[in-house]
Structure 1
């Protein structure tokens, strides 16, 4: 799946360079990439549900990593 995503990402970049970011071809390619990414994310959510983990907790970034506490 990652190779398909990477291939579509490169195609999107090339299409945007050739036709511009607002061209129909670029928008269609972007939507196809979105579809691949959403499919990948959906698979990740299903895997975490199957393992009994909370998928929302798995996808949330941890903004506290690498930050110092304000008060010691």
Structure 2
């Protein structure tokens, strides 16, 4: 997660310095995408290993510890 946050900040700084269409910015964005996809792939594998549906686990994480507004 630290690598993702560092790359996100680098992307923001690169876009400010060179513009969003600059080669440096696009390369940095692709590197961030790669990190995010790797993280997502790990989450999917963990949910498969635990027998849970990935979408159900994500939804569970959003609502865990929260009271529902409408019952």
Q: Give the TM bin, normalised by the shorter chain.
A: 0.7 to 0.9
Give the SS at the match of 1:17.
helix
Structure 2's unaligned 5+ residue stretches are none
Higher helix share: 2
Note if 1:25 corresponds to 2:27.
Answer: no
Deviation at 1:58, TM superposition (A): 2.8
Structure 1's unaligned 5+ residue stretches are none
Any idea what the Cα deviations from partners look like across 1:23-72, whole Å, max 9, x if unmatched? 0000000000000000000000000000000123334678xx96659xxx
What is the TM-score with the length of structure 1 in the denominator?
0.78
Larger Rg: 1
- Root mean square deviation of aligned Cα: 1.8
Aligned position for 1:15: 14
What is the TM-score with the length of structure 2 in the denominator?
0.79
